[in-house]
Structure 1
Amino acid sequence: MLSYTGGFVLLAALLHASWNAMLHGNRDRFLSMTWMSIAMAAVSSVAVIALPLPADAAWPCIVASGLVHIVYNVSLVRSYKRGDLAQAYPIARGSSPMLVTLGAALFAHEAIGPLHAFGIVLISGGIMALALQGRHVSRSSALAAFVTGVTIAVYTVIDGIGVRASNGQALAYTAWMFMFYWLMPLLFVTMRGLPALWAPLRDAPMAIGSSVVGGLVSIAAYGIVIWAMQSGAMGAVSALRETSVVFAALIGRVFLRETVSAKRWLACVVVAAGAVCLGM
Structure 2
Amino acid sequence: MPLHIICLVLFAALLHASWNAMLRGGTDRLWSMTIMCMAIAVASFIVAALLAPPARASWFYAGFSAVLHVGYNLFLVRSYKSADLGQTYPIARGVSPILIVLAASLFAGERVAPSGLLGIALVSTGILSLAFTRRRRALPNLPYALGTGLFIAAYSVVDGIGVRLSGAPMAYTAWMCLLWGVMMPMVYIGLRDTQSLFALRPGFAVAVAGGLVSLLAYGVVIYAMAHAPMGAVSALRETSVMFAALIGYAFLGEALTLRKLLACAVIALGTLVIG
Instruction: Tell me the TM-score range normalised by the shorter chain.
Output: over 0.9
Q: Give me the whole-angstrom Cα distance separating, in 2, the residues matched to 1:146 and 1:245.
A: 15
Q: Give me the whole-angstrom Cα distance separating, in 1, the residues matched to 2:132 and 2:217.
A: 30
TM-score relative to the length of structure 1: 0.91
Q: Give me the whole-angstrom Cα distance separating, in 2, the residues matched to 1:63 and 1:187.
A: 15
Q: Does 1:222 align with 2:234?
A: no
Structure 1 residue 131, shift from structure 2 partner = 4.3
Q: Does 1:173 align with 2:172?
A: yes
Q: Give me the whole-angstrom Cα distance separating, in 2, the residues matched to 1:264 and 1:116.
A: 23
1:60 maps to amino acid: F
Change (3 A) 1:186 1:78: same
- Any runs of at least 4 consecutive aligned residues in structure 1 with deviations exceeding 6 A, and if so which? none
1:85 maps to amino acid: L
**What runs of 5+ residues in structure 2 fail to find an aligned partner?**
none
Following superposition of structure 1 onto structure 2, how do residues 1-280 of structure 1 map, counting pairs within 5 Å?
A: 1-134=1-134, 137-167=137-167, 169-180=168-179, 181-199=181-199, 201=200, 203-204=201-202, 207-277=203-273, 279-280=274-275
**What runs of 5+ residues in structure 1 fail to find an aligned partner?**
none
Q: Percent identity?
A: 49
Kept in 2, the 8 Å contact 1:104–1:110? The answer is yes
Q: Give me the whole-angstrom Cα distance separating, in 2, the residues matched to 1:174 and 1:219.
A: 9
Change (3 A) 1:143 1:255: farther
Structure 1 residue 109, shift from structure 2 partner = 1.4
Kept in 1, the 8 Å contact 2:112–2:229? The answer is no
TM-score relative to the length of structure 2: 0.92
1:64 maps to amino acid: F
Q: How many residues get paired?
A: 274
Kept in 2, the 8 Å contact 1:131–1:142? The answer is no
Q: Give me the whole-angstrom Cα distance separating, in 1, the residues matched to 2:185 and 2:158.
A: 24
1:141 maps to amino acid: N
Could you list the per-position Cα deviations for residues 227-272 of structure 1 after superposition, in whole angstroms to 9, with x for gaps in the alignment? Answer: 1111111111111111111101112233333344322342344345
Structure 1 residue 173, shift from structure 2 partner = 0.2
Higher mean C-alpha deviation, range 151-160 or range 98-107: 98-107
Change (3 A) 1:128 1:36: closer
Kept in 2, the 8 Å contact 1:242–1:275? The answer is no
